[in-house]
Amino acid sequence: MAMPMLGEKFPEMQVQTTHGAMSLPEDLKGKWTVLFSHPADFTPVCTTEFVSFQKHIEEFEALGCRLVGMSVDQVFSHIKWVEWIKEKLDVEITFPIIAGNDRIAEQLGMLHPAKGSNTVRAVFIIDPEGIVRTILYYPQEIGRNIPEIVRAVKALQKSDEGVATPANWPENELVGDHVIIPPATDEKTAKERLENYECYDWWFCHKAQ
């Protein structure tokens, strides 16, 4: 089973979507991207996820992040499903949906044989340079938490400032909305850490964003 690794470029592939042909990752460059797969169109859990992604799309767009969906269903199925969601649920899906196939699913590590023939629920967060920064996998029977994916994008963007984010950031039980300072690598810097930041110890220092 092949799959991209964190820190690697997203695999090159030509795909057909509900918005036309796309060349990945070339067409993704310049913005953050959340590319997520769903097991199948016209299924209850997937429908709730698509509605939730759409409901949160302004939060993603405020972060300079686009959404791209995918499953191994064909484009005509995606189009009909989007129409159904609009007609029955009054939600217009505005992001593209990739018509994948088994080769693409295998290339992205989305086919887990022990979980059946459908793709699992995968999430790839890709940075503006086309680099894979986060990968999440969920089984078919569990819907994703969309606010957590929004939070992950925010945290990745914050980490690019040379800091780390704690658990549950920005609502951590120890440091609140502070960010973590990378640990010192020599004695001089370790001492400076204690003088310049709030610290539990020299290896655990934090500061306001």
Calpha distance 27→8 (Å, rounded): 17
Query: Torsion over CA of 34, 37, 42 and 45, rounded to 10 degrees?
Result: -80
To the query of whether residue 46 is one of the catalytic residues in this protein, the response is yes
Helices 44-55/75-89 angle, 10° precision: 70
* Cα–Cα distance list, 196 to 12, 21, 166, 202 (Å): 45, 52, 19, 10
Candidate list 46, 65, 199, 205, residue with the active-site label? 46
Edge-first strand order for the sheet with 20-24 is 20-24, 13-17, 97-99, 65-71, 32-37, 121-126, 132-138
Beta-sheet pairing, 65-71 with 97-99 = parallel
Beta-sheet pairing, 65-71 with 32-37 = parallel
Identify the DSSP state of 37. Answer: E
Calpha distance 74→40 (Å, rounded): 10
Interacting residues of 54 by C-beta distance below 8 A, sequence separation 6+: 91, 92, 93, 94, 95
- What's the token pair of residue 182? 């990378």
Active site residues: 46
